[in-house]
Amino acid sequence: MLNLKKCAVALGLAVAMPGTAFAANVDGPSVFWKLSMWGNPRALSAGMEELSKVVAEETGGKFQIKIFYGGQLSPARENLDALVVNGFEGAAICNFYHPGKNPAWMVFSLPFLPLGDPKVDKYVRSKMFEHPAIVADMERWNAIPYVSGLLPQYEILGKGKPPAELNDWQGKRVRAGGGLGSAMEKLGAVKQTLPAGETSIAFQRGALDAAAFPYTYAHVAFKINEEAEWFTSNLAPGTSECGWVFNKTSYDALPPQYQKLLMDNRDLVMDIEQAAYATQDEKNLPEFEKTMTKVTYSDEQLAEFREIAGKPVWDEWIAANKYKFDSQGVFDAIWQYAEEAKAAQ
What is the per-residue pLDDT across 194-206, written as a single tens digit (0 to 9) for each? 888 899 999 999 9
Mean residue pLDDT across the chain? 92
Q: Is the pTM of this model over 0.75?
A: yes
- How many other CB atoms are there within 10 angstroms of residue 248's CB atom? 17
Using DSSP's 3-state secondary structure scheme, residue 247 falls into: strand
Query: 3-state SS of 25-42?
Result: CCCCCCEEEEEECCCCCC
The mean pLDDT value for 37-42 works out to 94
The CATH number fitting domain 4-18+30-150+240-279, selected from 3.40.190.170, 3.40.50.300, 3.30.70.1050, 3.30.460.80:
3.40.190.170
What is the per-residue pLDDT across 280-301, written as a single tens digit (0 to 9) for each? 999 999 999 999 999 999 999 9
Using DSSP's 3-state secondary structure scheme, residue 15 falls into: coil
In whole angstroms, what is the distance from residue 208 CA to residue 315 CA?
Answer: 29
Contacts 24+ apart (CB under 8 A), 255-261: 255/28, 255/29, 257/26, 257/27, 257/28, 258/26, 258/28, 258/31, 258/55, 258/59, 258/63, 261/26, 261/55, 261/58, 261/59, 261/63
CATH 3.40.190.170 in the chain, residues?
4-18+30-150+240-279, 154-238+285-313
Domain 154-238+285-313: top CATH class? alpha beta
In whole angstroms, what is the distance from residue 176 CA to residue 179 CA?
Answer: 9
In whole angstroms, what is the distance from residue 18 CA to residue 32 CA?
Answer: 18
pLDDT at 180: 86
What is the per-residue pLDDT across 59-76, written as a single tens digit (0 to 9) for each? 999 999 999 999 999 999
The proportion of the chain whose per-residue pLDDT surpasses 70, expressed as a percent, equals 93
